Amino acid sequence: MAAEANDAPSVTGRLEASACREDDDCGPWQRCVDEHCIDGPRDCEQDTECPASSRCVLGACMDAPRECTTDDACPSEHRCLFGRCTDRLRDCDDDDDCPADHRCVLDQCLSGVRTCHDDEQCGADSRCVLERCEPGPRECTADEDCGADHRCSFGRCAEGARECTADEDCGVERRCELGRCLAGPRQCRDHGDCESPLRCDWGRCTAEAD
């Protein structure tokens, strides 16, 4: 996790996200979802409004068709996340379910306390990534905002076109990391998946560098 921006707001307890009732209550290139402003313009209300082989998630079209609407539609030990079955089990429903100095993001406990809900709660020249203020202003909200042979990764344009959104897109003996297919099957998603003293680094259990 990148270092917190020096001018990020001090946090004691939960932050109040930008409140809204409709998209017009939010800033440019934002939409209102569950009374919160989130990045990206609205382009759908239901799957049928998206291109073939894609689905509508939180008002935006996402690659890959919908597999599920509830956890019951997924295999055992899987859960439904944004319309796709994932093997990551639910860690939490809110921050109180996580250890100290952690936050709950997408049902997973991530290291570091919550410092933001949107870019406006971070200082100049920083952006909100997974509810933490990270250095560098936002360059993009989707791959289309970046030039050819680039992709949008955590609000910044990264070199290389997107190859995948999930491990299944990469074929046998490969895994998907930040939109690129890497050699070798996935061994882990976080440090807890590896035996001590190994740690999870880009989907593989490795020894910590000296």
pLDDT band, residue 193 (cuts 50/70/90)? confident
Give me the torsion for CA of 161, 155, 24, 123, rounded to 10°.
-160
Q: Is the peptide bond before 99 cis (omega within 30 degrees of 0)?
A: no
Does the pLDDT at position 4 exceed 60?
A: no
Is residue 39 within 8 Å of 33, Cβ to Cβ?
Answer: no
The predicted structure's pLDDT at residue 120 = 85
Q: What is the pLDDT of residues 90-120, one digit of tens each?
A: 778 888 888 888 888 877 788 888 888 888 8
pLDDT at 20: 78
Alpha helix segments (H runs only) across 19-141: none
Supply the pLDDT for residue 19. 66
pLDDT band at 27 (very low <50, low <70, confident <90, very high): confident
Angle at 30 between CA 6 and CA 88, to 5 degrees: 75
pTM comes to 0.53
Confidence of residue 164 (pLDDT cuts 50, 70, 90): confident
* pLDDT tens digit sequence for 50-89: 888 889 988 888 878 898 888 888 888 777 888 888 776 6
Higher pLDDT, 3 or 16: 16
